[in-house]
A and B are shown apart, each in its own frame.
Chain A
């Protein structure tokens, strides 16, 4: 379980959220939704210690997460990596094994077959030898998912993993997430397509510069909460049917 307690993050003095507390449970896929600029990515970066926190602590299995970061796989919203770097798709996926390799160690045959399997899982086997800069946006996104697969972490955090991905690949990635869920991993997914929320997520966190609501998706994904976090117009469209599931 990941526990965030009293986390405050500010950019140049302007707080994005103050004293935010939340827990993410293992064996669940938790969705995070909220309008643009709500602080979703900021919250995740705060959890991972990628940005400075004014206050708060984050624990995984009751110990500070900062000491177990290799046990957390993270796929950024917009990867800031160097697409002109001399590296191919396979070797990029293989870097997912680095967190668990010590100094001096290079990826073993077992690591390599894990990377091959992960590429097959995201349907990119044929692109294995392609330069990383020669992929489409959606293919690239799948490479990062493959890299998260080989990291074999207990916690997987994906920030908008489905942006620019076709429906078939999205379904395949979802089935990988389900597999992880079965294995008892903690999965956190920032998502923007509200139509899929009830289908994809066990738990849901709605954010707008702080937590608007959190809990089981069925309890949290309500007209009131969406109105608070987004707008009345949007919730009117989303909840025009009686059942939110069919929205």
Chain B
């Protein structure tokens, strides 16, 4: 347990570690909250797709020196629209449309990033390097968290009903498509911030693993979002500690921690855990 002491010492001493810790916590909160809607709407694949599809946006932002959020949002929304278009205008199923669009975007992003290699580090974009987060990035992250919280508070009813019973929402005249794309836009923003802590490849895990863990343990949407955010934050902090101590990439460390929590809930959840169910049967 000496390493925990070292981690805490490090936190006291190093500004970069403090920034990393705060970023991890903020990203944890937002991904737990938005992730809850992603899994309830059966959009895990879409979450994965959007997170991959922002890569060209990141590259373009680096190249042109514009804000990374702007570049990424543009490509994230473009991908969501294209997926919607292909699904609507062809007989293909949604998952096929998602697969085509996101792999193409990712491939494009990969090539663009290689062209801009000098300015940035592909490995860090793909797998996250929370220890290299700048103060500026931290401010961006805080702004995105504020947007996420406002979005969810203002549209709580609308998010709930479109996730739960979309036909009912449509039948009373709610603009359900608009809601979908608004959520996709917010998801894109979350993706770009989560990119710093876990990297593009593993963002989907931050979105769905803590939310899925919470899903097994709660039976109200509001509780699920809170519990998901807590699991997400705890996983992020533990992951950061391991990343610092063992010099692992932060993304895999955080994601593995989240997966351990999920496994525990999967086995022991009083409501749906498989061990508990066995006992009853």
Binding site for B on A (CB under 8 A): 48, 50, 66-67, 69-70, 72, 74, 76, 79-82, 85-88, 91-92, 95, 98-99, 101, 103-106, 131, 147, 151
Which chain B residues border A87 with CB–CB below 8 Å?
A: 160, 164, 219-221
CB-based contact A72/B220 at 8 Å: no
CB-based contact A48/B164 at 8 Å: no
Interface residue? B170 (CB, 8 A): yes
When the two chains form the complex, which single residue of B40, B165, B219, B220 contacts A95, counting CB atoms closer than 8 Å? B165
Which chain A residues border B178 with CB–CB below 8 Å?
A: none
Which chain A residues border B163 with CB–CB below 8 Å?
A: 82, 85
Binding site for A on B (CB under 8 A): 40, 42, 154-157, 160-161, 163-168, 170-173, 215, 218-221, 223-224
Which chain B residues border A50 with CB–CB below 8 Å?
A: 167, 170-171
Q: How far apart are A75's CB and chain B's nearest CB, in angstroms?
A: 9
- The complex places the Cα of A69 from the Cα of B221 at a distance, in Å, of 26
Which chain B residues border A80 with CB–CB below 8 Å?
A: 165-167
Q: A70-B172, A74-B171 are in contact. Are A95 and B221 (CB under 8 A)?
A: no
The total number of A-B Cβ pairs within 8 Å is 75
Interface of B is mostly: helix
CB-based contact A104/B165 at 8 Å: no
CB-based contact A69/B173 at 8 Å: yes
Query: Can you list the 5 inter-chain pairs with the closest CB atoms, starting with the nearest?
Result: A69-B173, A81-B165, A99-B172, A74-B171, A85-B164
CB-based contact A99/B173 at 8 Å: yes
When the two chains form the complex, which single residue of B40, B172, B224 contacts A98, counting CB atoms closer than 8 Å? B172
- The complex places the Cα of A82 from the Cα of B160 at a distance, in Å, of 11
Q: How far apart are A78's CB and chain B's nearest CB, in angstroms?
A: 10
When the two chains form the complex, which single residue of A95, A106, A151 contacts B161, counting CB atoms closer than 8 Å? A95
With A86-B223, A88-B220, A103-B155 already in contact, 15 other A-B pairs whose C-beta atoms are closer than 8 Å: A48-B171, A50-B171, A67-B173, A74-B168, A79-B165, A80-B167, A81-B164, A81-B167, A82-B163, A85-B221, A86-B40, A86-B221, A92-B164, A95-B164, A151-B172
Which chain A residues border B220 with CB–CB below 8 Å?
A: 86-88, 91
Most central of B154, B157, B160, B221 by chain A CB within 10 Å:
B157
